[in-house]
Amino acid sequence: MADQTRYFVCVLLLTSCCCMLGRSRAEDVGEATLVYQWTKLDYDWPSDEIRQNAIANGYVPEDIIPTGIKVHDQVVYLTTPRWRAGVPASLSSVVETADGRTVLRPFPSWEMNQLGNCSALQSVQSMEVDPLGRMWIADVGGTCAPKLIIYDIKTDDVIRKYTFPDDVANTNTTYLNDIVIDTSADDPEDWFAYISNSRSPGGIVVYDYRRDSSHKVFHPSMSVEPDATLMTINGRNYTFDVANDGIALSQLGDNMKVYYCALSAYNLYSVPTSVIKQPVVTDISSSVTPEGRKISQSDGLAVSQEGNLYFAALHLNAVYGWDTSSGDVSSAQELVSDDVTMQWADTLAFDDAGYLWFLANRLHMWRVNELTFTGSEQNFLVWKVYVGEKSYMHKSGAKSVRAGWLMCVVAVVCAAIREI
């Protein structure tokens, strides 16, 4: 009887340990933290005199809207595309001033954000930071041609500046919207960038680092869906006619693919990277896979190292997650939502501590001049939500680590049972 008692005690211990391991991560998943919030944005000006001169010469804080976000080494980077005239810098880091204000510091410098200087950043919608600490910056252009700048954050050096050929990307036919980096090759010289083109009819621009060359691909699935141009957010109707916008890369491994969708669309699609890497590809129709219909139109997309795809449900002021290994995207589940503070979750990004970050910027209201900048209402908010995962550029590991701890506990308990 005593032996049986000891046996059942050990089994109970094993069960309890397994439950504790499950709870150790699950209890924090989906917990949202508000990191930054602004009624309107301002910059880290060298002096108040310079700021006043800038206002006199056209700087308009109300013209600024943040759209892109990335987190690297605990630094948050935001993009502010020059959609209106009064934007002094288009890429910045978030800093706190001596008097406690949270502002934007032009990155990498004021000079590198000089309007009209085609060697500098003109209008940045999105960027990505690779595992080597290099920021790949997609510059939409304007009076200057669209380009890609790769900047080493550690050394403060521009290591690559590439101007796209007119037949691949130009300001009349192309809007470089979002970017992902294919780091699957062991040699960084063999990495690729995939950039969504949201100007109708849409497309994907592909950049080959080794060859320092680019090409574009197109499929009708990258275009606007006629039944998806109307968005109803908090009871108000807004019209958007925007082609391929969100783009995400599957986790590292074999048979990788790019996920994409138009902003004015419900359906999500994918195409193998092996297909769009080819510079002579002309028709990708046979390689495009429908991944299902999302619950809402969405803006940015992000895939984790474990293959979970996250997107914003714009109609619902929410962020959803979908396990790409099970079913299609219609099975996605809500992660967080808030009708006031999570309106238009634009871009999503991961840090190295297991958090998914996103920027809620009320773009639908800003676009039609419905925002109020004079009161205490917060228009632009940066959130982070614990998901226990890193970005698609990291090798899968979170699940295997948890499994390793579980196997360790099993081994210890089993050894104890054998001693009974």
* Per-residue confidence (pLDDT) for residue 16, from 0 to 100: 43
pLDDT at residue 282, as a whole number? 79
- pLDDT at residue 398, rounded to an integer: 46
pLDDT in tens, 72-86: 999 999 999 999 999
**pLDDT tens digits, one per residue of 219-248:** 999 999 999 999 999 999 999 999 999 999
> Nearest to residue 191, comparing CAs of 235, 140, 256, 244?
256
Cis peptide leading into 81, omega within 30 of 0? no
Which pLDDT belongs to residue 29? 73
At residue 401, the pLDDT reads 38
Three-state DSSP state, 176: strand
Q: Is 212 exposed, middle or buried (0-12, 13-18, 19+ CB in 10 A)?
A: exposed
User: In the chain, how many H helices and how many E strands?
Assistant: 5, 26
Match 């933290």 to its residue by tokens.
Answer: 33
* CA–CA distance, 64 with 103 (Å, rounded to integer): 12
In this predicted structure, what is the pLDDT of residue 281? 79
Tokens read off for 86: 């009064």
Helices within 219-313 (DSSP H only): 273-276
What does the pLDDT read at residue 353? 95
Q: How many C-beta atoms surround the C-beta of residue 125 within 10 A?
A: 28
Give the span between the Cα atoms of 44 and 280, in whole angstroms.
Answer: 46
From the list 76, 62, 86, the residue with the least C-alpha distance to 107 is 76
Smallest Cα–Cα separation from 143: which of 166, 164, 123, 169? Answer: 123
Question: Could you read off the pLDDT of 307-318 as tens digits, one per residue?
Answer: 999 999 999 999
Query: The whole model's pTM is what?
Result: 0.88
pLDDT at 378 over 80: yes
180-219: per-residue pLDDT in tens? 999 999 999 999 999 999 999 999 999 999 999 999 999 9
Q: 177 and 197 in contact (C-beta within 8 Å)?
A: yes
- Which residue type, as a one-letter code, is found at position 267? N
The pLDDT of residue 274 is: 96
> Is pLDDT of 17 > 80?
no
**For residue 269, is pLDDT > 90?**
yes
Average pLDDT over residues 133-158: 97
Q: In angstroms, what CA-CA distances link 60 with 42, 86, 102, 206, 294?
A: 9, 5, 18, 35, 37
Report the percent of the chain where pLDDT is more than 70.
88
Model pLDDT, residue 397: 65
Give pLDDT, residue 31: 86
Query: What mean pLDDT comes out for the span 23-46?
Result: 80
pLDDT value, residue 28? 62
Q: What is the mean pLDDT of the chain?
A: 90
Residue 3's pLDDT band, with cuts at 50, 70 and 90, is low
Q: Is the pLDDT of residue 70 over 50?
A: yes
**What's the pLDDT score for residue 396?**
82
Average pLDDT over residues 16-24: 39
* Residue 406 clears pLDDT 50, i.e. is over it: no
